[in-house]
Structure 1
Amino acid sequence: MDLALVLYPDMTALDLVGPYEVLAAQPDVTAHFVAATPDPVRCDSGLTIVPTTTFDALDRADLVVVPGGSGWARVLADGVVAAWLAGVHPTATWTASVCSGSTLLAQAGILDGRPATTHWALRDELAKLGAVVSTERVVVDGSVVTAAGVSAGIDMALTLAGRIWGDERAELTQLVIEYDPRPPYDSGSPDTASPELVAFARGVLTGS
């Protein structure tokens, strides 16, 4: 199985690395880090990832994963990622996104009229792009799987692992990576965080 992990400037590292750790460990998976050029790509936290191939060189994949990141608006304006997604999605078995990566799927026409999720601060933006926005952490609609913000990418990848390789393999993967979240705070959602914290975070994330 060819797994294409999309890279672009100012993407969020965990959006990519979380699903990568889950999916690349499965049997007979070949992971490709695909970008517009072969030049290293800097994530929004400073981590740099080197592509293994380019959009021009890779025209198909069985599974496509699109991360989000603080650079999502610039990537939308550029249009290069969406154009590649529009080309590879029709022959992909699965197309998935994490966080604001769903906006790129939407720009490619993949989410028109479909249920999808994204980071809580970008739900209105995703709706404007034609998706039927869900507040669920992971949404599966046919061959398209979307995840909410950042850490939800691990949930999405485990969901895919179960669909593709079976529940037992997915449970084994969860155990091996010791994915047993017990956060020290209960502020991981706008439903549980204080209104003041939600407002501040929204301003930081959207520039409003």
Structure 2
Amino acid sequence: MSSKPIEIGIVFFPGMTQLDVTGPFEVLARLPNARVHLLWKRIEPVISDVGLPLLPTTTFSDCPDLDIFCIGGGPGMTSIMDDDEVIAFVREKGGAARFVTSICAGCLILGAAGLLTGYKSACHWLMRDMLACFGAIAVHKRVVVDRNRISGGGVTAGVDFAFQVAAEVCGEDVAKRLQLFLEYQPEPPFDITVQNAPPELLAKLRSDSVPWLRDRQAAVDRAARKLASRETVSA
């Protein structure tokens, strides 16, 4: 195996859903010769959507060329999608990575950076329809691989996603060894999914989510207009 480090960049941002990326971090940081960069504008704590402090290790300006670029979602992404500095970093550094990856609604940030046009992607089920605003193709699967784009669905899909990334980068033998070492054999206590949930429960979740989904859709629409304008200028 090459002695060249596997450079992995994971974006942190205020209001992120930490499990989107800390689940994958647990797997990807164990890849042979991996170097993980936890990326943000500054080296200062960022606070997750439920109050967990997280410390970046590498600023955007110090980020090396990456083999794997990874970004998750969370309520904070509504502001992130309006942040030209972040979107420019995702477009330039993320777009140059060997593998461009996301978990949950992080795919919408990739979309805002113009990195999912014409690509299939997974996404959290409540936001899957928003992918079309960026010319992406929503796929109702836990993990989706389309060329060098790899995406995980909802929050907990990040672990499944990470083993798939491990297999793509280092081969199935390495991924299987990590899966065995981490004893990944999920047995959820309840058999409840989008596919089998009672209609009234799905309706309640959708109803409760309307306020923040409205804000997120507005951010997606603004980002899509910016993307279209940029593509028009560069054409």
Shift of 1:172: 1.2
Shift of 1:45: 1.5
Superposition pairs of residues 120-135 of structure 1, within 5 angstroms: 120-135=125-140
Instruction: Using structure 2 for the length normalisation, give the TM-score.
Output: 0.84
Q: 1:60 aligns with which of 46, 62, 65?
A: 65
Shift of 1:59: 5.0
Contact 2:95 2:115 in 1 (8 A): no
Q: Deviations over 1:141-173 (max 9, x none)?
A: 111111101111111110011111111111111
> What is the match of residue 199 of structure 1?
203
Distance in 2, Cα, partners of 1:180 & 1:93: 29
Distance 1:206 1:12, change over 3 A: farther
Shift of 1:99: 0.2
Contact 1:12 1:43 in 2 (8 A): yes
Q: C-alpha root-mean-square deviation of aligned residues, in Å?
A: 1.4
Superposition pairs of residues 101-112 of structure 1, within 5 angstroms: 101-112=106-117
Unmatched runs of 5 consecutive residues or more in structure 2: 1-5, 214-235
Shift of 1:198: 1.5
Distance in 2, Cα, partners of 1:43 & 1:123: 22
Amino acid at match of 1:192: N
Q: Deviations over 1:102-126 (max 9, x none)?
A: 0000001010121111000001112
Q: How many residues align?
A: 207
Shift of 1:35: 0.5
Distance in 1, Cα, partners of 2:206 & 2:84: 25
Give me the identity figure in percent: 37
> What is the match of residue 14 of structure 1?
19
Shift of 1:68: 1.1
Amino acid at match of 2:108: T
What secondary structure sits across from 2:9 in the alignment?
strand
> What is the match of residue 79 of structure 1?
84
Q: 2:194 aligns with which of 190, 193, 204?
A: 190
After TM superposition, the structure 1 stretch with the greater mean CA deviation from structure 2, 100-109 or 79-88, is: 79-88
Unmatched runs of 5 consecutive residues or more in structure 1: none
> What is the match of residue 31 of structure 2?
26
Shift of 1:206: 4.4
Amino acid at match of 1:191: Q
Which structure's CA Rg is the greater one? 2
> What is the match of residue 137 of structure 1?
142
Higher helix fraction (1 or 2)? 2
Instruction: Using structure 1 for the length normalisation, give the TM-score.
Output: 0.94
Superposition pairs of residues 30-49 of structure 1, within 5 angstroms: 30-49=35-54
